Structure 1
Amino acid sequence: MKKALIVWGGWDGHEPQQVADIFAEILRGEQYEVEVSDTLEAFADREKLLGLDLIVPVWTMGQIEQQLVDNVSAAVQNGTGLAGCHGGMCDSFRNNVDWQFMTGGQWVAHPGNDGVNYTVEIRQGSSPLVEGIANFEVSTEQYYLHIDPAVEVLATTRFPVVNGPHATNKAVDMPVVWTKRWGLGRVYYNSLGHHADIVALPQVKELMRRGLLWAAEGKTYAESATQDLQNIGSYSGMADSQ
């Protein structure tokens, strides 16, 4: 049975407990063993994190000890998946650039605040993670993020929709959903999810379900790759001794 850890907390405005409950329901429905924690100390046991298939942060803003970030990073580099949404993953720990590097982006603005009507445009053919999902409309915060150029973009939204100092620039397509790699691990992010009702939208919930499972499945491939490297090393050592 695959194992997942969901850690929620930070700013209450993003309804972290309710969002964590949705993710726990999804994963338990997929026969995962799920632990849910409301403290960052859940990241303190590095060996435990290394043994997980998936880590799901649901923590907006706040502060985190560097050692805890290092523990999560070590686990992901060794194949543990990392997946999350909205401010719960890419507006966590604004002062920690290592977290931002690992997750692939950082929130900087949501022009118009909550209730902006916009289209989430799926990049058809970009990944099986979005296969069969059509473009859809939402009314929520439209996240403007600073993005790692290494991410693989699966969905976007067009800016500007509302007026602001950014509107005098040319129109840009801002990533909404992306994947990236961190060492041997898989990272998945979806900028939707300002409140739990947005996460519960059919399209968003399905995107998250696929992303959570995809990130967790990377552990199997990571273990296989590690074993292959060990086998190559053993073979080379035998050859050198002959």
Structure 2
Amino acid sequence: MSYARRRALIVRGGLEGYSPVQTTDLFLPFLDRHGFDVVIEDCLEVYEDEKFLAETDLVVQCWPGGEITPKESAGLRAAVRSGMGLAGWGAGLVDAFREDFDYQLLVGGRFQLDPSESGRRRVRLAAEHSDHPVISGLSDFEVRSERYWPLSDPLIDVLATVTFDGDENRPGVASVPAVWTRTWGRGRVFASVFGHAPDDFDTPQVRALTERGLLWASR
């Protein structure tokens, strides 16, 4: 018996220092194994193609920084609202198009960089979402990363958090979202703060939850 394959669109570009090509390349074999035909675009104009997006099941975006036009932004949001999935990680999703509030609301969060040296961070999975397909069966883990402080929509489903100790500016301990999902109309969005560089995905849990996030978000 043959099964229809789905379409995944990878949109990558922006600031090269964040390795948009190298990180998205890591997931090409995974997507192929799970029945996706992959199309790669290095421009945002594809978000204006309503017919093409209507036939696309998943967009994996890795576009750190940059600007998006109102028409491109509206096209992306409309496609997700109609059922197309959106997924991404790090600055490629959570720090893209900082001037576009509607895009940030779609994603559910935006990086507010809190400069600090890289260090070990404990990632705690949300017990109340332990049965969510993205994190089911996984345990808390550690990563080495900079400290990013995302501003987030309170209506997202936070699947994992990172806790920061207090300092001279904020004397209290604070936990902030690190991995989350949300629905947008009939579509789904998966976001993770991890993925600044390809070796971030050497951590098995980061790789696993990202792969699961891609599948979960897809139409």
TM range, normalised to the smaller chain?
Answer: over 0.9
Computing the radius of gyration from Cα coordinates, the structure with the larger value is 1
Q: TM-score of the superposition, structure 2-length normalised?
A: 0.92
Contact persistence 2:133–2:212 (CA under 8 A)? no
**More helix by proportion, 1 or 2?**
1
Secondary structure at 1:144's aligned position in 2?
A: strand
* Cα distance between partner residues in 1 of 2:51 and 2:168: 47
RMSD of equivalent CA atoms: 1.4
Give 1:164 shift. 5.7
Q: Secondary structure at the match of 1:128?
A: coil
Give the share of equivalent positions with the same residue, in percent.
37
2:35 aligned partner:
31
Q: CA deviation at 1:129?
A: 1.7
State how far apart, in whole Å, the 2-side matches of 1:71 and 1:101 are: 15
* In 1, Cα distance between equivalents of 2:206 and 2:168: 27
Q: Which residue of 1 aligns with 2:173?
A: 171
Q: Spell out, residue by residue over 1:196-230, the C-alpha distance to the aligned partner (whole angstroms, 9 max, x if none).
A: 110242111110110000100xx2xxxxxxxxxxx
Structure 2: give runs of 5+ residues left out of the alignment: none
What 5-or-longer segments of structure 1 have no aligned partner? 220-242
Among candidates 126, 140, 144, match of residue 139 of structure 1: 144
What TM-score, normalized to structure 1? Answer: 0.84
More displaced 10-residue stretch of structure 1: 146-155 or 192-201 = 192-201
**Cα distance per residue 1:118-164 (max 9 Å; x no partner):** 10111135023211111111111232010000000110010237x46
Q: How far did 1:37 drift? A: 1.5
Structure 2: distance between partners of 1:81 and 1:26:
17
1:74-223 correspondence runs (5 A): 74-113=78-117, 115-126=118-129, 127-160=132-165, 163=167, 165=169, 167-168=170-171, 170-216=172-218, 219=219
Q: SS of 2:182's equivalent?
A: strand
Give the deviation of 1:54 after TM superposition: 0.4
The count of aligned residue pairs is 213
